[in-house]
Structure 1
Amino acid sequence: MSVDLHYTDSGPADAPPLVLAGSLGATLDMWEPQAQALSAVLRVIRIDLRGHGGSPVPEGPYSMADLGGDVVRLLDRLGIERAHFAGLSIGGMVGQWLALHAPERLDRLALLATSPYMGPARNWRDRAELVRREGADAVADSVVERWFTPDFAKGHAAEVTALRDRIAATAPEGYAGCCGAIENWDVREELDRISVPTLVVSGADDPATPPSGHGALIAERVPGARLTVLDEAAHLLSWEQSARVNTLLTAHFTAGDRASAGMRVRRSVLGDAHVDRAEARKTPFTEPFQDLITRYAWGEIWTRPGLDRRTRSCMVLTALVAHGHWAELAMHVRAALRNGLTRDEIGEVFLQAAVYCGVPAANKAFAVAQEVFAEHD
């Protein structure tokens, strides 16, 4: 019987929903490095699997159908017909189950550091017995050792310790019950039935699910799947290589509709009033250009998580001053304010531009900004 999962919900309510499911022994906090970046363009729903975090802990063992059924139940509770899904480790197994048994509920799928088969079964039975007997603390050290490369663990000791403590705090029956789901998991011969667009991401240094035989096997057998192997990444690659993972996930989950993603970002940065005016002025002659800008500038570039919007605003202001695009500058001074830059910070950008773009250009920029500030006042 399915249970009501604990979850968090962030990002635009009208954006495509994305469900994030994590590793055995992890809570939804595992996705902290992704939450803000992905929420810029997606409605991000992070979940605790049953037996983990704030979710119920029914008596185990569980099956993958139980874990997948919990996700379907959550989508029903939230009134979501279809969603993107990204899962890491056991979360990725849940994603495979959904793609095989509830494909009508998925749009696009990302499978991170996961496998279609994690035998031998005896290992999972032994681990479940140990955790039921001694608690998850008994396995926490060995688990977190596989999560990170030695260099990362050494340089991020506090983060690794905090994640290790979350593993140790997992309810013994919840952890052991999920071990039961992995014990009986084998869909190697079913992968060719997955039909949703699928991204597979593996860590080159992952001892738990190394690319060969795990990620590579999924990518080989799932029609059209794409495999990316990240260097200097172990099992919890979403944490260790968060910037690269954020870029991969954003590109994958917005690939189906760049125009809609671009329009959401455009409205967020420029404001509804400006975009509504621009849309009202659109003609058959200008429509192709407006579509190009929405898809490319806003949907391809502004959606990328590699730079935050404050930084992008600073760069845009400088470029516009350098080329003397004064009408565009006024629009992007307003956008910079919306993106969180203060008036003093905008002034600093223009002082920098005075050195590298010329004093007359900066003088004009200050005048344009002053007019925008007066409008605001």
Structure 2
Amino acid sequence: MTTQPTGKQLHHRAEGSPTAPPLFLGPSLGTSMALWDKVAPELSITHRVVRWDLPGHGGSPADLIGPGATVDELAGLVLSLADSLGIDRFSYAGVSLGGAVGLHLAAHHPERVESLAVICSSAHFNGSKPWQERAALVRAEGLAGLAESANSRWFTPGFTVPELVEDHRTADPDAYAACCDALGAFDIRERLPRIAAPALLVAGREDPATPPAHLREIADAVPGAALTEIPRASHLAPAEQPEAVLTALRAHFGGGARRGMDVRREVLGDAHVDRAQARQSPFTARFQDFISRYAWGEIWTDPTLSRRERSLITLTALVAHGHYDELAMHVRAARRNGLTPEEIGAVLLQSAVYCGVPAANSAFAVAQRVLSEEDEATG
């Protein structure tokens, strides 16, 4: 049973639209939410991103966990945070210990996890002994000495992120040691085949802590999981190779855009969408993604209104603003959504009253042309 925290919460930062699909980002031991600084802002274009700090790291209270802590407890803290934000179901990506939390959530709380990405992590962390030794060292001597080796454990030679190394140095020793206890006790290998959420495993090719073989073990056990290896990346891949990690996460968590593209084709037709895709350039790619994800993936899929009703509203709005090229496209869409020519005419007549006779006059001309073309096409 997952332990639910009382009172205090994990320190977190939410970015992106509150109506966008939620995505939680989990940190590695010794770091803070700053681990995601080069990735989270881009992900927040398409998601409601929630970054969180481990207990005793960044801004999270140290006394959220104690000696003998488990990944189950950390997962409980994440669920409590989600509940406090009114988030029932979410996607999740985590690094190292944060990735272990994601695996636990997907295996034990499948109703909460929409999609999962596990980065530079493992289903087990080589047993309890090395973590017991590290926890004892930190409890006795603090973190200053251990932080000196952070660069060699976290990054490829010659690379560093000073802010993350400072996070390591200033973390609370007791909370850090409790996280070591959690890593030492973690082994979820037997439950991996039960994970049903779409899963992506991301390995740093030069990661000495959780080498690619650890991620491959998870990918082989989780049904349908995909594995990506990132070159020139060690243990903190989102900090060292943010563009490669971002590309992998965008592709994996892009469900809203894919769903939106399906609806866009159903309403506007394959021919129109294919033409729009053919005209797409690097300059317009993000706008096309925005249209597919937001207009079609969120608004047109909202079950509050039927597609017929949405066509009625859209026709009126296009007449009001004089967007007659778009109007022609949406007259065709309205026919696909079940509107008769008589109903389309009634909408335009209503628009004449509230949007103006000249606007409706132009709209009738456009609609008549489109409907005549449809009549000719059907004989």
Q: Distance in 2 between matches of 1:60 and 1:260?
A: 47
The match for 1:31 among 23, 36, 56 is 36
Structure 2 residue identity aligned to 1:78: L
| Count of matched residue pairs | 283
CA separation of 1:236/1:293 partners in 2, compared to 1, >3 Å: closer, same or farther? farther
2:75 corresponds to which residue? 68
Aligned residue in 2 for 1:135: 142
Structure 1 residue aligned with 2:360: none
Q: Specify the code of the residue in structure 2 equivalent to 1:182.
A: L
Query: Partners in 2 of 1:261 and 1:56 — Cα distance?
Result: 43
Do the aligned partners of 2:34 and 2:164 also contact (CA within 8 Å) in 1? no
In structure 2, distance between residues paired with 1:44 and 1:293: 33
Q: 1:283 to 1:249 in 2, by over 3 A?
A: closer
Mapped partners of 1:240, 1:138: distance in 2: 23
Q: Cα gap change, 1:63/1:5 in structure 2, threshold over 3 Å: closer, same or farther?
A: same
Greater Cα radius of gyration, structure 1 or 2? 2
**Match for residue 219 of structure 1?**
219
Distance 2:113 2:176 in 1: 26
Partner SS state of residue 189, structure 2:
coil
SS at match of 1:152: coil
- The equivalent of 1:9 in structure 2 is 14
Partners in 2 of 1:50 and 1:289 — Cα distance?
53
CA contact (8 A) 1:48 1:55 kept: yes
Which residue is equivalent to 2:237?
237
Q: Does 1:109 align with 2:105?
A: no
Q: CA, structure 1 residues 259+290, in 2 after alignment: closer, same or farther (shift >3 Å)? A: farther
Please state whether the residue corresponding to 2:190 is helix, strand or coil. coil
Q: How far off is 1:257 after superposition?
A: 4.4
Structure 2 residue 34 is matched with structure 1 residue 41: no
1:51 match: secondary structure: coil
Q: Distance in 2 between matches of 1:261 and 1:80?
A: 25
Distance 1:31 1:295 in 2: 31
- Using the TM superposition, give the Cα deviation of residue 10 of structure 1 relative to its aligned residue in structure 2, in angstroms: 0.5
Distance in 2 (CA, whole Å) between partners of 1:242 and 1:180 is 29
* RMSD, aligned α-carbons: 3.0
**C-alpha distance in structure 2 between counterparts of 1:247 and 1:6, whole Å:** 27
Contact 1:41 1:303 in 2 (8 A): no
Offset of 1:262 from its aligned partner? 11
Q: Quick check: 1:228 aligned with 2:212?
A: no
Report SS of the residue matched to 1:108: strand
Return the alpha-carbon distance in structure 2 between the equivalents of residues 133 and 303 of structure 1.
54
1:45 partner letter: V
> What is the match of residue 319 of structure 1?
none
- Deviation per CA, 1:122-166: give whole Å up to 9, x if none: 11011011111111222112233111000334xxxxxx3322111
Partner SS for 1:8: strand
In structure 2, what is the equivalent of residue 83 of structure 1? 90
Letter in 2 for 1:194: I
SS of structure 1 residue aligned to 2:182: helix
Counterpart in the other structure of 2:357: none
Match of 1:173 in 2: 174
Shift of 1:51: 2.5
SS of 2:72's equivalent in the other structure is helix
CA drift at 1:60:
2.4
Percent identity over the alignment is 40
Alignment of 1:1-377 (within 5 A): 1-3=3-5, 4-58=9-63, 59-153=66-160, 160-212=161-213, 214-255=214-255, 257-260=257-260, 286-288=268-270, 301-302=285-286
* Alignment partners' CA distance in 1, 2:115 and 2:206: 26
The 1:27–1:304 alpha-carbon spacing in structure 2 relative to 1, beyond 3 Å, is farther
Q: In structure 2, how many angstroms separate the alpha carbons of the residues matched to 1:283 and 1:190?
A: 39
Report if the CA contact (8 A) 1:109-1:199 is conserved. yes
Structure 1 residue runs of 5 or longer lacking an equivalent are 154-159, 264-278, 306-327, 332-377
Helix, strand or coil at the partner of 2:38: helix
Partners of 1:148 and 1:283 in 2: CA distance: 47
**Distance in structure 1 (CA, Å) of the matches to 2:158 and 2:150:** 16
State the alpha-carbon separation in 1 of the partners of residues 86 and 37 from structure 2. 25
Rounded Cα–Cα distance in structure 2 between residues aligned with 1:143 and 1:215 = 22
Q: Distance between the aligned counterparts of 1:12 and 1:294, measured in 2?
A: 26
